[in-house]
Amino acid sequence: MVQTRFKIGNVTVRLIQGDITEQDVDVIVNAANSYLKHGGGVALAIVRKGGEIIQKESDEWVKRNGPVPEGEVAVTTAGKLKAKYVVHAVGPKFGDPEGDVKLRNAIRNSILKAEELGQSSIALPAISTGIYGYPYERCAQIMADIVKELSPSLNNLKEIRVVLWGQEAFETFRRIFHEKL
Ligand code: AR6
């Protein structure tokens, strides 16, 4: 397995090249849209492997609460995945003038939600870098900053895993995380 590891206090930060649906962690973060319609990308992979229960709970969530604003998160169970929860994070589309702030919030709120749920490990994808068009480099910079900033204050979370699909994404994240952590 291609991976690299950093340590910030008690928190292990791991970058892995692979499939997020295969990860043995408590919380898997999904790169979702505001309506939680998981029709493509990592979202579709999560529903395919976790089962329709994830889409069903997502639909119920939106019916109850309305669409999830960009930068915010919603929680469902994880169906047949190894994880206990899926945190659906809504990232911005590249080109949005408020995009960087929203992406930062989406990542931050995902980590804080896992912490609040009392879980010890989380896996995040490179939110907004697929269908939403963000460059890997920009996402990596934002993610490295927020991980560095939050880690010292985490009590429950012991591992933050970033799961990158493909070599280009992995190499870019590795370079940026080495620079920043
Ligand atoms: N494991 C890890 N990463 C993956 C996987 C996987 N199995 N599959 C894709 N990626 P995207 P977005 C990477 O498009 O840009 C959906 O339709 C992918 O290469 O999933 O935030 C939602 O429902 C990319 O680097 O999410 C929304 O409508 C990253 O995951 C919209 O796409 C994110 O790509 C969200 O777009």
Does pLDDT of 1 surpass 80?
Answer: no
Of 154, 131, 129, nearest in space to 141 by CA: 129
Distance 25 CA to ligand 1 centre (A): 18
Of 131, 143, 171, 172, the one to substitute when testing ligand 1's pocket (max ligand atoms within 8 A of C-beta) is: 131
pLDDT class for 92, splitting at 50, 70, 90? very high
Name 130's Cβ contacts closer than 8 Å, sequence gap at least 6: 31, 40, 41, 42
Establish whether this prediction's ipTM goes over 0.95.
yes
pLDDT tens digits for range 108-157: 999 999 999 999 999 999 999 999 999 999 999 999 999 999 999 999 99
Ligand 1, atom 8, lies closest to the CA of 42
Distance 92 CA to ligand 1 centre (A): 12
End-to-end Cα distance, the chain: 22
Give Cα separations from 171 to 124, 161, 168, 178 (angstroms). 16, 15, 5, 11
What pTM was estimated for this model as a whole? 0.99
Closest approach atom of ligand 1 to CA 136: 25
Stretch 89-118: mean pLDDT: 98
